[in-house]
Amino acid sequence: MAKVTGLEGVVAAETDIGLVDGAQGRLVYRGYAARELAIRYGFEEAAYLLWYGELPERKQLEELREKLAAGRVLTPDLRRLLDAMPPNTPLMNVLEAAVAALTDETTAWPPTVEQAIRLTGLLPVIIAYRHHQSNGTAWPEETQEKEHAAHYLYLLTGRPAQPAHVRALSAYLVLAMEHGLNASTFAARVVASTESDLHSAVAAAIGAMKGPLHGGAPAGVVRLLEEIGTKERAETALREKLERGERLMGFGHRVYKTLDPRAEALRAVAAELAGDDPWLDLARHAELVAVRLLEEYKPGRKLRTNVEFYAAAVMRAVRMPAELFTPTFTAARVVGWTAHVLEQAGHNRIFRPQSVYTGPMPAEADAGE
């Protein structure tokens, strides 16, 4: 039996949800380029597309916004659970436990899109509530804000978000919500294939996401940009790093052999908003300098900008604390996870791969005794 370490290249499912084409640098959501969705549409439209298979009409969009808003409820039981968790519990562990605790008789198999919508609406609330808990800051008053990205930013700061920040975060959330059969999505589909509930599948996905090889935050890019500081220092700072043989964080990608399409989309949004935010303006300039210097120092390597570079730029621009990077990634990816769980349930077969035993065998009795 052939052994494939890490299942790399093994086809484990057929899907209509998303395509990751590393060779051509394409990311497709149900027939639409993710880049175009991020630039032309908002979080709700892209989420509707992944859940329902088509872009929403105006009425459908408003109905989805109402349903997401209805899901943003911290029940007394959920508050007690969050309050009872030790202060040093990492936020991703809090999310994992909270989502698993939401499971009850109303969330049994088969999963529904209504469950997916409620959970998607609730995750940013859990993140923001725990963030305020950890920092000893006040939970903000109720708001009538319906837009998903704007509501999340309001919960974190207690102030209406700047339109440029809402636009940038929304684009990031769209580009982070789906990326093929990655480790966390595979985990969700495996759990769903046992006919366990949607919340358990998502809790398993969060468990995979918090691993540093999968959902590691782009904090290294933030540190790089902070070291650069100003446009005037960009070439000197980057050249010094390359002279010392250091890696420039945010460049190169394991899957994409061309420009990461997610980075391309976030770059377009950053260029559109750069005049409104000096951090995005710095990131755009630093990228141009870095690409030129990488070609000079590492000719032929084609180390293009990856999504972490502009994800870091966007997160820093919207004043997102570094400890919220991976949880925010999770709040976006829950759309893809739930879409895959729903698809798995539609034509389910339990995942049951085989393994190759390499341990010792029992000693055989001596034939002469």
**What residues contact residue 334 under an 8 Å CB cut-off, 6+ apart?**
116, 119, 120, 123, 177, 202, 205
* Alpha-carbon distance values, 320 to 134, 170, 255, 310 (Å): 15, 13, 27, 13
Instruction: Give CA torsion, residues 313, 333, 43, 33, to 10 deg.
Output: 80
Cis, bond preceding 110 (omega within 30 deg of 0): yes
CA dist 51 → 177, 234, 270, 324 (Å): 11, 42, 28, 25
Do 94 and 130 meet the contact criterion of CB atoms below 8 Å apart?
Answer: yes
- Which residues, listed in sequence order, are joined to residue 33 by a DSSP beta bridge? 28
Do 169 and 152 meet the contact criterion of CB atoms below 8 Å apart? yes
Of 209, 155, 119, which Cα lies nearest the Cα of 320?
A: 155
For residues 232 and 230, give the distance between their C-alpha atoms in angstroms, rounded to a whole number: 5
b/e map of 81-95 (b: 16 or more CB within 10 Å)? bbeeeeeeeebbebb
Which of 44, 178, 287, 308 is catalytic? The answer is: 308
Amino acid at 8: E
Distance CA 320, CA 303 (A): 27
Is 308 among the residues known to form the active site? yes
131 an active-site residue? no
The residue annotated as part of the active site, out of 253, 264, 340, 343, is 253
What are the residue numbers of the active site?
A: 253, 308
